Amino acid sequence: MKHTYVGSTIYHIYLAILHIIRSSEYNINNTGDNILFLIESTPNIERLIPSLKKRFFREVYIISERKEHVNELGKFNYTFKRKEKLVPYLEKKHPELVKEKDFIKISNLFLCDVDSSKSYFLYTYGSKEISMIEDGANTYRQRRTKFELFAKTYITKTLIGGGFDKETKKVYAQFPKKLPKGLRNKAIELNIKKEVAKLNQDIKDELFNLFLPKTSFKLNKNNNALILTQPISEDQVIKNEETKIEIYKDVISKVPPNLNIVLKIHPRETTQYEKYFPDITILPALFPIEILGLKEGFHFKQGYTLFSTALANLEIVKECFFLGKDYLDKFTARGTKELIKQMTGNVNKD
């Protein structure tokens, strides 16, 4: 069993590990030969590499991100000559891409979308079967207008992304039926809840300790509300960080006063929430919120988010509120607005 995974987020890493465990038929002493390429977009993600290499990956490589490529190749080359310019540029910049070429050719290749450096793998290995592992909420929306599809296909001749390129044969998703119509025929279920339910406690403990080896935070067991923040200012889907703080101040005001508020920062955020909310428990950023369900002692009466699909994965949250619709006027990105409109306002898990 040989697998190559290419991602950029903590969520991608977690899904990749769950896929490895499933592929091993839940025998973590036989996880195969796997490598992981991580695109440099999540602050401090390199801290996880030693733990990731203990069992699940033979090697983990960090690859530069899009901003650096555009600066060094130039906007024209990146937009109109990406395939021609990006492949030799990245192979020179990252010799490990050449070093692992023979392995990648014979391994199963899994991409978490094809943006940024991830497009290199589709350009280089597009003749073999390529699979995509979902990219969270982005995977569940039709991201391109007809004009954008036309422009990418005939003008810039760049990749469509989101699993829609013909080279992407399979899309592993938590909720296949919720995918855009053009992806459902490629869909294979990889559902976090269902996969975790098949794990014994030893495996659960190992996964928990991989991301939180020295966790010391404790929560009130009976009276907590969870808020999942998102990198909406970093991703430039709202005006600025000030607007983001205004939104989350309002979200906090909606939480019943008898509940202890616990705020989980998204791993890609750079906002220093402790400066704005000094009286709120703030969890570390560099772990997938789903792993709190692997151990006892974490329970939330309510959970709040704008449009994060992670909240729907949490059995440890009794009642979920998706509040993005309350702030539609704050969002500047059309695609984000469309995604928010599709989401359910609240879900009670009783």
Element (H, E) at 61: strand 59-63
Q: What is the phi/psi pair of residue 81, to 5°?
A: -130, 35
Distance from C-alpha of 100 to C-alpha of 92, rounded to nearest angstrom: 13
Q: Which amino acid is at 109?
A: L
**Closest alpha carbon to 60 in 40, 37, 39:** 37
Q: Which amino acid is at 124?
A: T
- Look up tokens 């990406």; give the residue: 82
Q: Which amino acid is at 135?
A: D
Structure tokens, 196? 């975790």
**Per-residue model confidence (pLDDT) at position 264:** 95
3 state DSSP class of 178: helix
Strands (E), 112-270: 130-133, 168-173, 187-189, 224-228, 260-264
The reported pTM is 0.87
Domain with CATH 3.40.50.11110 in the chain: 216-348
Neighbours of 245 (CB within 10 A): 16
**Per-residue model confidence (pLDDT) at position 272:** 94
2-196 carries CATH number 3.40.50 = yes
Cβ-count burial of 191 within 10 angstroms (0-12 exposed, 13-18 middle, 19+ buried)? middle
Q: β-pairing, 2-7 with 168-173?
A: unpaired
Distance from C-alpha of 299 to C-alpha of 190, rounded to nearest angstrom: 24
**Furthest C-alpha separation in the chain:** 59
Distance from C-alpha of 218 to C-alpha of 296, rounded to nearest angstrom: 11
Distance from C-alpha of 126 to C-alpha of 284, rounded to nearest angstrom: 38
Measured in residues, the chain has a length of: 350
Compute the chain's Rg from CA coordinates.
20
**Per-residue model confidence (pLDDT) at position 89:** 95
- Look up tokens 């907590």; give the residue: 224
**Per-residue model confidence (pLDDT) at position 256:** 95
| CATH class of the domain at 216-348 | alpha beta
Distance from C-alpha of 88 to C-alpha of 27, rounded to nearest angstrom: 39
Element (H, E) at 33: strand 33-39
**Per-residue model confidence (pLDDT) at position 97:** 97
pLDDT (tens, 9 = 90+) of the chain, 350 residues, equals 899 999 999 999 999 999 999 999 999 889 999 999 999 888 889 999 999 999 999 999 999 998 899 999 999 998 888 889 999 999 999 999 999 999 999 999 999 877 778 889 988 998 888 999 998 877 887 666 666 666 666 666 666 677 788 888 999 999 999 898 888 999 999 999 899 999 999 999 999 999 988 766 677 667 999 999 999 999 888 999 999 999 999 999 999 999 999 999 999 999 999 999 999 999 988 999 999 989 888 899 999 999 988 888 788 999 999 999 999 888 887 778 877 877 665 555 55
Contact between 117 and 90 under an 8 Å Cβ cutoff? The reply is: yes
